[in-house]
A and B are shown apart, each in its own frame.
Chain A
Amino acid sequence: KNQVEQSPQSLIILEGKNCTLQCNYTVSPFSNLRWYKQDTGRGPVSLTIMTFSENTKSNGRYTATLDADTKQSSLHITASQLSDSASYICVVRPGGSYIPTFGRGTSLIVHP
């Protein structure tokens, strides 16, 4: 069964600090992995996408990494801002299928 596990479930950090969110998946065969940011009451917004051959992708202060051998990904947020408070969701799309598997998300709270 295809699964995506994210950790931690929630995280509280101070403004200006860095943090790293984790995503482990068992989806096979693998097509691509996306990280989404979902603000409260809003739809998810794509941050990064990585395919099998890519092991790092940046989008401003967000940097995602992918280790396709260990089936792990991380999202690193640098110099956090209050607006980074949101849920971050890891999504893996299998090859040969249109059905993506979503993780439950990590809830990030950035305090001033």
Chain B
Amino acid sequence: ETGVTQSPTHLIKTRGQQVTLRCSSQSGHNTVSWYQQALGQGPQFIFQYYREEENGRGNFPPRFSGLQFPNYSSELNVNALELDDSALYLCASSLDGSRNQPQHFGDGTRLSIL
């Protein structure tokens, strides 16, 4: 059973640029959630995708957007990068959109904005 994998592991960008982060969900999982974790903080929910549709969004501006593909892998896109976007971005997959299903996290992408 392949776990959640994220790429790249590290990334450095400058202010104003755009970035795409990728996530492959665990085999059999059709739900993917994205989180932003600033240093020393708990993860903050960005959005969730269930069967290619966004079905929940946290308090993040529209420049944070996402996509889920038919194979349930997912992308997180961030436009017009700001210094405060520097963080660990975590992807988690689960068996379905049920609230009691455990989420399996990847090891994240560390994004640094210069």
Contacts and interface: CB of A to CB of B under 8 A. Distances in A.
Interface of A: 4, 31-32, 34, 41-46, 49, 51, 89, 91, 93, 95, 97-100, 102-105
Contacts of B48: 98
Interface residues of B, number: 26
Contacts of A32: 99-100
B90 interface: yes
Contacts of A41: 107
B42 A93 contact: no
Contacts of B58: 99
Interface string B21-40: 00000000000010100001
Nearest to A6: B42
Contacts of A104: 40-42
Given A4-B42, A99-B45, 16 more contacts: A31-B99, A31-B100, A32-B100, A34-B102, A41-B107, A43-B107, A44-B90, A49-B102, A51-B100, A93-B99, A97-B56, A98-B33, A98-B55, A98-B56, A102-B43, A104-B42
Given A49-B102, A97-B56, A98-B97, A44 B45 contact: no
